[in-house]
Copies of this chain bind each other. A is one copy, B any other.
Amino acid sequence: MERNANVPGATIQRLPAYLRCLLQAQTNQMPLVNSGSIAEMCGTNAAQVRKDFSYLGELGTRGIGYDVGELIGHISRVLGIVERRRAAIIGFGKLGGALFGYSGFGERGFEIVALFDADPDKIGTTAGALTVSGMDEVESVLRGQGVEIVILATPAAVTQSAADAVVSAGVKAILNLAPVSLSVPDDVAVRQVCLSTDLQILSFHLAQGGASER
C-alpha cells in the first residue's frame, strides 16, 4: 500500500520496541532524543537505530537528533496503528481470559471486540461489554465485527480448525499462542508465540554456560 515494502523485516520487528521507548521518553517530558539514547533504552546500538530509521525516511535533524512526537507519529503510521485495529480472541480459557483482562493492548493500538470458546458453559456468558460466542459463529461474527486480527488461545488439538474458520472469514493476520505450526494461505500473516519454545532456548544458554543473546 505504502512504499514501506522496502523496509527490511528485521527493522520492522524492532519498531515496536522503539515505539515503546519513545512513548516513555514522551512521558518523561523529553522533547528530543538521539540515536544513542534510544539505543540505550532499547538495548541496541546507535548505528542500528539510525539505519532502521533511515529506511522510513529522513526523520531526524543532523546535529540535533529526533523529535519524539514526530517519530512516534511516523512509526505508528508505518505500523498501521494510527487508529485502533479490531481484534478477537478465540479460546476463552485461563490464558484467553488473562489476555482479555490485559489493558496493554488498548494502549498499544488494539481493541478486543469479540470472544469465542467451544465450551457450552461459557458461550453466552459476558466479559466486560462482550458476550462469548460459539465456534460455529466465528466466521459470521468476525465478518460482522470487521475483525482484522485474531488471537488464537485454543488447545493445540483444535487450533488448526479454528485457524481455518478465521481464514474463511477473510482475516489476514493471526497471532497463534498454541504450540502447533499452522498452515494457512500465504497471504495470511501468522506469528507464533510459544513460551515453552522461549524457555527451551533459554535452557540452551544455560547448557552452554555463557549467555549473550539477540
Contacts and interface: CB of A to CB of B under 8 A. Distances in A.
B208 A79 contact: no
A118 interface: no
Interface in A175-214: 175, 179-181, 183, 186-214
Contacts of A210: 187
B80 A173 contact: no
A202 B214 contact: no
A88 to B, nearest CB: 12
A29 interface: no
A188 B211 contact: yes
B188 A43 contact: no
Interface stretch (A45-53, A62-70, A102-110): A102-110
B200 A19 contact: yes
Nearest to A44: B181
Given A94-B98, A183-B43, A207-B80, A189 B175 contact: no
Nearest to A150: B202
Interface of A: 1-2, 4-5, 9, 12-13, 15-17, 19-21, 41-43, 78-81, 85, 87, 93-95, 97-99, 101-102, 104-105, 108-110, 148-149, 151, 172-175, 179-181, 183, 186-214
